[in-house]
Amino acid sequence: MPTYRLVVEYDGSAFHGLQYQPALRTVAGALEDALARLFHQVVKISAAGRTDAGVHATGQVISFRAERAFPIERLRLALNACTPADLVVRDAALVADGFSARFDALERVYDYLIVNRPYPSAIWRARAWIVPRALDDARLVQAAAPLVGEHDFVTFCGELPERGGTVREVFAIDAARSGDLVRITVRGNAFLHRMVRIIVGTLVDVATGYRDLELTARALAARDRTAAGTTAPAHGLYLAGVRYDAFDTYRPVALRP
């Protein structure tokens, strides 16, 4: 059976997350429905990263196998004719047997968008977290430093994984600003449930002066969720890219409307 790889983007606002749930609208459900129409069989997908309700993606990677072949040069166009407007296939390719979007990923990249100004935004209200208190960008980056590296991130976990531990490696945490818009980029090998959102919320607590600069190091050592800060809202988070051997889907979320 041929193995296919898709790169997809979606607006998570109206999805109840990525994972298939029979009674709810999910990314996996919408995509599997479209694939079933094209391949005339039940198709189950594997994703590079699960995203919660309200979380967006610009570089999510999907893999699946199908008994029937479909002309690869037509697959992207055909899928985009079958998927809803808030779910788009960027790229479609045939890959080697055994490829897994989840298990072959070397790095996952999340972007988090913040509008930092003392009044709301009509444009960004469903796409970014509105933070009215002034953010000290340098203080944010300084607070992020203890989180880079391989650590037990149980403090920064929403729900514990069913299998495996809570040790993950964060490769880098960076921040970029364009006027009122701030983009926090977190790179790592894998992430726990709500890990990026808890990291971002904790960094914002420090960067606004609400919490002290030593909070992140202290929280990491505590191994207790109550030691960390705020959980940032889902609608500011984007799975922006996934890196594989010789393939990278990262596309930074633009710092403009």
**Sequence ranges of the binding site:** 110
Residue recorded with tokens 């960067």? 207
Residue 52 annotated to the active site:
yes
Q: Which residues contribute to the annotated binding site for substrate?
A: 110
> Tokens at residue 7, please?
């790169």
Active-site position among 11, 52, 86, 248 = 52
Query: Could you tell me the two tokens for 230?
Result: 């705020």
Positions marked catalytic: 52
